[in-house]
Structure 1
Amino acid sequence: MKRRAFLGTAGAVAAGAALPPRLALAQPAVAQQARVLRFAPHASLTFLDPVANLTAITNIHGFYVFDTLYAVDASLRPRPQMAEGHSVSDDGLTWTIRLREGLKFHDGSPVLARDCAASLRRWAARDTFGRDLAAVVEEWGAADDRTLRIRLKRPFPLLIEAIGKPTAALPVIMPERLARTDPMKAVTEMVGSGPLRFKTDEFVSGSKVVYERFEGYQPREEAPDFFSGGKVMHFDRVEWTIMPDQATGLAALQTGEIDWLDQVQADLLPLLSRNRDVATDILDPAGFMGVIRFNSLQPPFNRPEIRRIVLQAVSQPNYMNLVTGGDPTAWRSCHSLFPCGTPYGTPPEDAGMSDTPDITAKKRALSAAGYNGEKVVIMNPSDVPIIAPFGHVTHDLLKQLGMNVELQEMDWGSLISRAVSRETPDKGGWSLYHTWWGGAGIAVPVTNALIRGLGDRGWTGWYSNERMEALNAEWLRAPDEAGRAAIAAQMNALAMREAPTVPLGIFSVRTAYRKSLTGMLKALRPVPWNVRRA
């Protein structure tokens, strides 16, 4: 057996101080406030299952409540999290993962290897990377209570990368009784083994979400690094208050009603610069890619040539300047469906995009391609300020191209519910919507939902392409990085020709918080561990 060992180092302690006697009556209230972290997320938490739902807000919730066997560090390398370590047989067909001692679920039951096997089996039925792994799995099994054993039909060198991925469908571990839920149905009972417990009795969808510290959680001893390492909670409770209106959120932050505002609209940042008690920062240095996602099932975007004309008509600066308030340091053009700056983020030579496209020529091309006035419905989340401006830019662009377009404003929860509808736009369906993806989540082919051609089994929009999936299989089997890079370049070129998704550029989003908070981590998501009140 080939053994890889992972060991850790020291943890952290907390300290407090007594109040003067004259403040003794106020001490309980002050102490209670100090133990609560008040957070305003960027969107309402509508869906709770981080395996069944791919939205960023559900992903954040998933990291609070659940834990994973492996987690990535700032270099996106998987590190043991719930796992103690793993070994691989000489033929590469048997992976043995040993669990750390003392792992518990929120209901008090121990975390067992069979819970992990059932959880990974359910996750693999929903996730793109997971399905690639599941195709070669002979058995998700358990050798004993602390030893997970995965037997393969053929080698899969990226197994740990798969079960440690930080985005989209999270490979979270839940009790076996919940993990046996139909993968196509959402789990609603939130029992994880993460650092925080979900307070079902205090949850008000669209208004309030409450978590409390799980006393049975045993953090790793290593220092926290991105999503890996020790997740030490210094607060007893984390309370989310949903504030769709940015002005309301900013006012609450400045008066101290909340401690942390997830995302700040760029044009409102100057208001915060005058407040000495508030700081802003960029927590995800890789940035985000804004995108248009087409419905590839319904006319007119069931035709690749129509999608490609729209892609070539897009001017990324029009989107990026609006979402960043015109700050040239906060964005960059990227004519690629792998994020620029990542190993595969080189724009194809024939991408056909320009920051100054000839709209008149694209209008003629659209007519020549046979666009026949089919209605285009844009779903636009008015309550998500980082996405909402995109819809207005695209609405104006499609009108210039001569398309029959309608912008339908709605909240994010409604958009996500409607995005699974395959009806025609005139029967409650849709044609396109906008969103963004963290660069880390789409940096490699197997996790890049923007390009994968999985059809019914893929991301909403249901783009299907057998050649794309064949290339993905080749990428997974490639023996070295040079071979993988060459295959990824072919996939990127194919995706830009077929245009299931349009890249809108790479941008940064600032978060804002009271300066009394310290210890915030650079990570893809805003995470509460390591954060404390000074």
Structure 2
Amino acid sequence: MRRRDLLKAAPAALLPMPALGQNMRSRTLRLVPSTDLVSLDPVISTALVAVQHGYHVFDTLYGVDGQMRPHPQMAEGHQVSDDNLTWTIRLRDGLRFHDGEPVRSRDCAASLERWSRRDVYGRVYGAAVEAYETPDDRTLRIRLKTPFPRLLQAIGKPHSSPAFMMPERIVKASPDTPISEMVGSGPYRFLASEMDSGNLFAYAKFDGYRPRDEAPNWTSGGKVAHFDRVEWRVISDKSTAVSALLQGEVDWIENLPADLEPLAARSRDVRIQNADTLGTVLVMRFNHLTAPFNNPALRRFVLEVAKQSDYLATVTGGSPDAWRECAAMYPCTIAGVEEIGKERFGRLVGNEAAMREALRATGYNNEKIVILNPADSAALAPLGPITADLLKRAGLNVDLQDMDWGTLLQRRGSKAPVEENGWSIFHSTWPSIAIADPVQNTTMRGEGSRGWPGWYESAEMESLTARWLAATDTAAQARLQSEIHALALREVPTLPLGIYFPKTAYRRDLTGVLDGSVRYPWNVRRG
């Protein structure tokens, strides 16, 4: 059954919605997230939906604007010693957690220490830290072993495990495991008693939150909450979600599927907006621990047979202004990125004889390739079948396995071979700004078992990244970034599949929806 036919069979009026009075409804923002919220801990999980949840509940010492420039957020400001080895950060007065306790410098020290063990940028930052000192409740002193000039960029990064501040008691109770108690100092409180996984997640405005005076810009500035309550309505069938939006039963769909955009566009009551002007990168992630993608020659082969436009056109419905091909390992929407892969990306497409010869040269021995495919994700569900089809046509042994996104997140953590419920490929997305430089580009970091599932390991990559971070002039940084880029093209730790520009859709009576890598709940109001 096609989605448009399904609209007739499953009208939004049949959706289970809480009974709300008209006044309460006007003060409630109802959002349909792109996927179910499987993990509540936005430091442990890199999933977009977990990061979005994190920005409701938690705050950061520094935020960034759309050009990745850091600005004080929970911080009042900072000072750096003459030898660049001591950073002193002063907290804003009056910051409080949702349980009523003041935010103290020791909470921030514990939060940074925990975050630095989990995040790819955080681990590099953490290696430079000698100690944290908290001379008083509002003063955090970070003593370094070596200078770390990008400290504010690290602790203010906007996506994929941001350095959210949490109470010391919670952080120390779960140093390396997901936290279970959602107590932050952000603009909304998480209502754990109302959580109905797969259906409803609810947040209440935190009256003790003190927003900054500046205008909001990405994760920086004044985070003013205009709604008393935010509800996330998890609706796995996107046609049903769009129908609910059209009938006013929800206010906002985080990610509007391309094939349903024309339907939403016909309504005078719905506004459609580009969600992120820098775009989102589609990626194919290989498992480097087990055959056959522990073989870099086979990863290079896939890069040469994959056609980015097939993926991008499917995800975006073919609209030419909704995507762009990018023959680079970094996002082409980031300033200074060169398309160094123009002679390599997709070079074997349409040449079957050359494709067969190239496959033989890789040494591939018909090992089974298991592709994990999240059938409940509008952006990702089409990618698995495209990859399965192109690899089968290229002569590889492929097993496409559909599952929900939550199951995929659990399954991709397995390091077992495919015969023991392991995997070979999964697809994901990364906001361009989240993988814009060598340190935070998780898709190509060579951290091995400590890194992103797929576990690409490269001492050369890590050495070049450390040298890039330590470089003090722009010429040296540019040269090192070019070397990192060339190495990633040779090794193909992850295959970028191009950039698309996701759309978000909301009722026309909403204003103040901000650009960013996730949908922020602040600045949005009704009327």
Q: Specify the TM-score bucket, using the shorter chain as the normaliser.
A: over 0.9
* 1:348 Cα offset (Å): 2.0
What does residue 394 of structure 2 align with? 401
Q: Secondary structure at the match of 2:76?
A: strand
What's the offset of the Cα at 1:349?
Answer: 5.3
Deviation, structure 1 residue 461: 0.2
Distance in structure 2 (CA, Å) of the matches to 1:205 and 1:496: 40
1:91 aligns with 83
* 1:463 maps to which of 456, 468, 473: 456
Q: Residue 527 of structure 1 corresponds to which residue in structure 2?
A: 520
The answer to whether the 8 Å contact 2:279/2:500 transfers is yes
Cα deviation digits, residues 235-288 of structure 1 (max 9, x gap)? 010000111111100100000000001111111111112111011000210000
Which of 468, 471, 483 is the matching residue for 1:478?
471
* 1:209 lines up with 2:201 in the alignment: yes
Uncovered stretches (5+) of structure 1, i.e. residues with no partner: 1-27
Aligned runs of 1:342-421 on 2, under 5 Å? Answer: 342-348=334-340, 352-354=344-346, 357-360=349-352, 361-421=354-414
Within 2, Cα distance between the matches of 1:67 and 1:428?
38
Identity of aligned residues (%): 50
2:418 aligned partner:
425
Counterpart secondary structure, 1:135: helix
1:280 is matched with which residue?
272
CA gap 1:221/1:355 in 2 versus in 1, 3 angstroms: farther
What whole-Å deviation, never above 9, does each CA across 1:421-441 have from its counterpart, x for those lacking one? 101112111100001100000
Partner SS state of residue 114, structure 1: helix
Name the structure 1 match of 2:232: 240
**Separation of aligned partners in 1, 2:95 and 2:169:** 17
**Deviation by residue 1:483-525 (Cα, 9 ceiling, x = unmatched):** 1121111111111111111010011111110001011111111
Q: How far, CA to CA, are the matches of 2:108 and 2:391 in structure 1?
A: 48
* Superposition deviation, residue 478 in structure 1: 0.6
Structure 1 SS opposite 2:118? coil
Q: Is the 8 A contact 1:139 1:151 kept in 2?
A: yes
SS at match of 2:496: strand
| 346-355 or 312-321, larger mean C-alpha shift | 346-355
Q: Give the Cα–Cα distance (whole angstroms) in 1 for the partners of residues 182 and 33 of structure 2.
A: 19
After TM superposition, list the pairs within 5 Å mapping 1:293-372 onto structure 2: 293-348=285-340, 352-354=344-346, 357-360=349-352, 361-372=354-365
3-state secondary structure, aligned to 2:254: strand
Partner of 2:172: 180
Q: Say whether the 8 Å CA contact 1:359–1:400 is kept in structure 2.
A: no
Matched letter for residue 321 of structure 1: A
Please report the RMSD computed on the Cα atoms of aligned residues, expressed in angstroms.
1.2
Are residues 183 and 497 of structure 1, via their aligned partners in 2, closer, same or farther at CA, if it must alter by over 3 Å? farther
Q: Deviations over 1:1-36 (max 9, x none)?
A: xxxxxxxxxxxxxxxxxxxxxxxxxxx922111110
Q: Does structure 1 residue 250 correspond to structure 2 residue 242?
A: yes
Conservation of the 8 A alpha-carbon contact between 2:328 and 2:341: no
* Partners of 1:340 and 1:346 within 8 A in 2: yes
Give the counterpart letter for 2:397 in structure 1.
Answer: N
Quote the residue 1:489 is aligned against. Answer: 482
Deviations 1:52-84 (A, max 9, x none): 110100000011100000000122101000000
Displacement of 1:188 = 1.2
Residue in 2 aligned with 1:41?
33
Give the count of matched residue pairs: 507
Report the CA distance shift for 1:355/1:44 in structure 2 as closer, same or farther (over 3 A). Answer: farther
Counterpart Cα distance in 2 of 1:245 and 1:306: 36
Cα distance between partner residues in 2 of 1:241 and 1:349: 41
